[in-house]
Structure 1
């Protein structure tokens, strides 16, 4: 939304964010356009994947956006921080790819393509929370590790050249899913049961009705996995399985 200073009221910006779990986390002005980052699902009908630009009339994609896994436009990812420095737009969040380029939590948009500085702050369940420059030095709030080094949630990029590798210019056709997503249901005891997971560990997140992440964890493949609801208050929540395109809204009422 935006504040219309002609009548001092808040108004909708275009269609807003489409999809029940879509939300915005960050804003920046770059090349005279408004960029918005967040948990924004392309599959829900939004113009971009986790990041879009507003030209004053409509939202547009920013390349192919960002993804947690390669070419995965259905799994959980987001853009949490945006900052402009030396003519480039820097983004951080819970992603590992930007338009197909490996980008471990930090990516750079130059106006036509995504680039990555190298390195990784998404090890384990890590992600970029916010970023800022002091002079020409980039600092990022993140998880506990950056490039296998314990940084205790704050990392400093010590490179001199931020552009390590870049994506092709343009927007490619989206891949079609080839496997069925897992099933999420509520048990008679009120817990959330997940079945049909593919091999390996799977990160899950729980969002409240305001789009805030209130819980996260790891599920194991095989059989059925349970997500406890004991620490959650009554209300509506969205559960997302990060790598398997599974998402469902659940109501807790005790």
Structure 2
């Protein structure tokens, strides 16, 4: 999956070395897939190559040579096809960069800022700064003092190290979820149950906290609305087909 870049007349053009993007067709299925660009999970709409069968998020199908992000001020990110790697103690290669949004390893396509040592998955660039859901405002933050509703921890950890990443926390302080933990929900369910695993995600412990207050039905609806928006962004689903699956699974899982 090599790429060749060139810039005639200051216009960036991206082409594959083994096939052209013209062979990619936009299709939509209500199931998970692994993007052959960024190596992250996707859902719903994806671009499929009619020659090799590769599947890509929309963001990976149409990469920009350079981009910026409002959270990082003047930092300029450059598109990278190959991930950064390093050699471990056993002389084996491992990924050496984490996404500064979700905290997951960069294993494929990414945007990298050399000057500020920052990295983002293409889909993570779409995560919004603020979300208003059921009269509750959620803010995107890098550092929070409250515990995540999923992992019950303040800092994000993969078991071996603390990792960077954002959280979404409500202004009322009742709701807080690491973006990292949202990807863990999907990964855990996928590994256990396969493509239809999202229907079996267990969200029950998200609403067990006594300090949250309010009615259970209101809490459930807020969490459902919040999750479907964030997961749709993380999975590269611009049409939010994921919302139909999430509404069903959360309703069954929390009642």
Normalised by the length of structure 2, the TM-score is 0.28
Larger relative contact order (CA 8 Å, sep ≥ 6): 2
Higher helix proportion = 2
Normalised by the length of structure 1, the TM-score is 0.28
